[in-house]
Amino acid sequence: MQALPQSLLNSVERSRENSRLKRLTKLQADCSRLGMFDASQLHAALDDPNVAEHYQQWAKRIDELRITALAGGVNRGDRRALFHLIAAFKPDEVLEIGTHIGASTVYLASALASRPGAAAPTGRLTTVDIIDVNDPAAKPWLRSGSPCSPRDLLARLELDWAVEFIAQPSLTYLSGAERKFDLIFLDGDHSAATVYQEVPKALRCLNPGGLILLHDYFPNGKPLWSNKLVRLGPWLALNRLAEEGCELRVVPFGELPWETKLGSSRSSLALISSGQSPVA
């Protein structure tokens, strides 16, 4: 049987995502806490040679962990982009939604805990997943081909002190969180309905001047890579928020100075920053 073309599968996904999104009542999104981080600042961060040198020191240690690329999630090139962003934006408190095997967690923690020139370790990461990613009985990391749990990965880098793991649905955690964050990375289930609800809740959890970071953001709902695959949820959710008057600006990472996947340097990371503009 011939497989359905990816373009048709993308159309089916768009219809399904739109249908679920339309069922939700309008939410109030207060963007007053959002900080500003524009495309020029982002490109400067990605091109910073001092950060690149610091990254290479950590990359050698992280490579020894043999984090699998077969489990999906954030590719290696995007993980490096996360490291550069942390080094440039300098947040003290970061929240990650969607731990999975801990691949992006490791890069976030290493950048947070070891800023160039810092007199002492600084920065902490809270990472939330719907399951206990470190469960010693179920060992969920083995199903993804990872050699050890996210907590063990961090322990091998002597960074376990910098990360708090929480097993809870994203919307539950964001609704009840008392701590405020400088940067919130939304990398959960990626559905339009969930992201539409996550963003307003995440906005309430920001410190003034904070930012929200998205994974799997496809500008204009178009493919980024040669496989033609598109994840439409984050883009559709941000489109609706913008149409409803939320004063935000989406800054896609675009082309990175290094490879991401499938022979491309394109990234699906995007920042939600202060300002009102059409959502690409």
Report residue 117's pLDDT band, with 50, 70 and 90 as the boundaries.
low
Residue 123's pLDDT is what? 85
pLDDT band at 226; cut points 50, 70, 90:
very high
The Cα 81–Cα 77 span in angstroms is 6
Cβ atoms of 239 and 248 closer than 8 Å: no
Distance CA 252, CA 221 (A): 12
In this predicted model, what pLDDT tens digit does every residue of 69-98 receive, in sequence order?
Answer: 777 779 999 999 999 999 999 999 999 999
Structure confidence at residue 118 (pLDDT): 55
Euclidean distance between CA atoms 164 and 67, whole angstroms: 20
In angstroms, how far is the first alpha carbon of the chain from the final one? 36
Contacts of 227 (CB under 8 A, 6+ apart): 6, 262
Model pLDDT, residue 30: 94
Q: What is the pLDDT of residues 149-163, one digit of tens each?
A: 999 999 999 999 999
The model carries a pTM of 0.95
CATH number of 34-274: 3.40.50.150
- CB 274: neighbour CB atoms within 10 A? 18
With vertex at residue 98, the alpha carbon angle to CA 68 and CA 258, rounded to the nearest 5 degrees, is 50
Question: Whose CA is closest to 44, among 84, 75, 79?
Answer: 84
Tell me what pLDDT residue 241 has.
Answer: 96
Single-letter residue type at 7: S
Q: Is 23 exposed, middle or buried (0-12, 13-18, 19+ CB in 10 A)?
A: exposed
Which structure tokens are listed for 158?
């002597």
Which sequence spans correspond to the domains of the chain? 34-274
Strands 181-186 and 163-167: unpaired
